[in-house]
């Protein structure tokens, strides 16, 4: 594992060419994914099959020879473990039949039992069996804030109106819920580490819903609670942690904190400025706009080159997209991107 370019970068060591993996690398843009997906109506049922998850995690590794693999699962497994009735219906995003709709619901939440997520830990074990020995596996969870937003909204949404209204009317209960989720995320990640993951990424995919002040109060405070729990536990204390904040309304230099090894940059961030500000303290991951992969081969090559030139001397750079790859991307374009990075 010491020879892994990805783990070297997380430890702020340089590589001749940057390691590469990308968010949602196993997913709907791949025909081999669709082939397996069509056997399941509810996506969550597929996530509950550890051997299938392992096979799906390996698909982008086999196709592109990436430098890190990510566990095949979803961030919404934790809300599901609270019995909020999660399902992914045909052609739709996630939907909760039993969302958090009142302050009372938080007082009556079921206790979190990490063992109900055993299928995820088995998926980690199965994936490790299939992966080459020196290829690291990334475990993950949603940030407590992002999980709370889905749990209150009852699914995905453009404006997260219910969540914002809940925040306004029940701030104390929301904070109680965030604390419960932080502890659940800690137990969940701890068990992923015991099962074999080599690094952790926290996805704060709905950070952009919060103002600068609220970002600290409702999101970062709880991600910090989570990472502190991980850093003070001997099982997880040496595992590098990557934080992805989607378009945060606060400058990264103003919130990057010491428990983190790496900051994953959203595509709207200016990687040049941020790399100058963070230099030597944190590894950086990112941040090609996934939409560039819809453009010509020449444009892809030029955009990759731009980022790689900026980050050439940066100790601890990991190439990634600035958010998840979308289903409309041609897998051949991904190959163009990877060849350009390694050139």
| Distance (Å, whole) CA 207 – CA 143 | 9
Is residue 37 among the annotated active site residues? yes
Structural contact between residues 199 and 68, judged by C-beta atoms closer than 8 angstroms: yes
Residues 79-108 that bind ligand 1CP (CB under 6 A): 88, 93-94
Nearer to ligand 1CP, 26 or 314 (CB): 26
Structural contact between residues 36 and 52, judged by C-beta atoms closer than 8 angstroms: yes
Among 15, 24, 289, 291, binds ligand 1CP (CB under 6 A): 24
Retrieve residue 122's tokens: 């088995």
**Does residue 205 belong to the site contacting ligand 1CP (CB under 6 A)?**
yes
Nearer to ligand 1CP, 33 or 186 (CB): 33
**Does residue 64 belong to the site contacting ligand 1CP (CB under 6 A)?**
no
* SS3 category, 287: strand
Q: At what angle do helices 171-195 and 221-231 cross, to 10 degrees?
A: 30
Q: What angle do CA 48, 51, 57 make, to 5 degrees?
A: 90
Find out whether 154 is annotated in a ligand binding site.
Answer: no
Q: Which stretch binds ligand 1CP (CB under 6 A): 2-10, 73-81, 114-122, 158-166?
A: 73-81
Nearer to ligand 1CP, 290 or 314 (CB): 290
Find out whether 317 is annotated in a ligand binding site.
Answer: no
Q: Provide φ and ψ at 264, rounded to 5°.
A: -95, 120
Closest to 42 (Cα-Cα) out of 88, 5, 110: 88
**Does residue 331 belong to the site contacting ligand 1CP (CB under 6 A)?**
no
Q: Which stretch binds ligand 1CP (CB under 6 A): 20-28, 166-174, 256-264, 300-308?
A: 20-28
* SS3 category, 20: strand
**Does residue 156 belong to the site contacting ligand 1CP (CB under 6 A)?**
yes
Among 177, 203, 282, 314, binds ligand 1CP (CB under 6 A): 203
Structural contact between residues 244 and 278, judged by C-beta atoms closer than 8 angstroms: no
Retrieve residue 168's tokens: 């306004």
In whole angstroms, the minimum distance from the beta carbon of 88 to ligand 1CP comes to 6
Show which residues are catalytic. 24, 28, 37, 74, 150
Known binding residues for substrate: 24-28, 74, 150, 205, 323
């Amino acid at each position: 594992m010491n020879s892994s370019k990805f783990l070297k970068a997380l430890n702020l060591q340089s590589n001749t060419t940057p390691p590469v993996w990308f968010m949602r690398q196993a997913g709907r843009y791949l025909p081999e994914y669709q082939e397996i997906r069509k056997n399941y109506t509810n996506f969550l049922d597929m996530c509950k099959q550890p051997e299938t998850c392992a096979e799906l995690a390996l698909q982008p590794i086999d196709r592109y020879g990436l430098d890190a693999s990510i566990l095949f699962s979803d961030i919404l497994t934790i809300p599901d473990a609270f019995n909020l009735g999660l399902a992914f219906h045909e052609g739709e995003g996630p939907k909760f039949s039993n969302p958090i709709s009142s302050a009372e619901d938080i007082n009556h939440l079921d206790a979190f039992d990490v063992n109900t997520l055993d299928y995820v830990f088995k998926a980690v074990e199965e994936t490790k069996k299939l992966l080459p020995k020196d290829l690291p596996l990334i475990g993950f969870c949603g940030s407590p804030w992002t999980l709370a937003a889905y749990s209150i909204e009852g699914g995905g949404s453009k404006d997260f109106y219910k969540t914002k209204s809940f925040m306004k009317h029940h701030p104390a209960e929301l904070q109680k819920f965030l604390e419960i989720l932080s502890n659940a995320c800690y137990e969940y990640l701890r068990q992923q580490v015991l099962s074999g993951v080599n690094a952790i990424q926290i996805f704060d995919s709905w950070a952009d819903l919060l103002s600068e002040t609220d970002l600290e109060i409702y999101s970062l405070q709880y991600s910090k609670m989570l990472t502190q729990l991980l850093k003070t536990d001997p099982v997880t204390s040496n595992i590098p942690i990557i934080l992805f904040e989607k378009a945060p309304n606060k400058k990264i230099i103003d919130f990057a904190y010491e428990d983190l090894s790496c900051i994953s940059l959203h595509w709207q961030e200016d990687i040049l400025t941020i790399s100058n500000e963070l230099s030597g303290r944190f590894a950086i991951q990112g941040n090609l706009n996934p939409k560039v992969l819809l453009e010509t081969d020449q444009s892809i090559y030029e955009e990759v080159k731009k980022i790689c030139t900026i980050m050439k001397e940066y100790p601890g750079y990991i190439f990634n997209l600035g958010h998840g790859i979308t289903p409309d991307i041609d897998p051949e374009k991904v190959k163009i991107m990877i060849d350009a990075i390694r050139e």
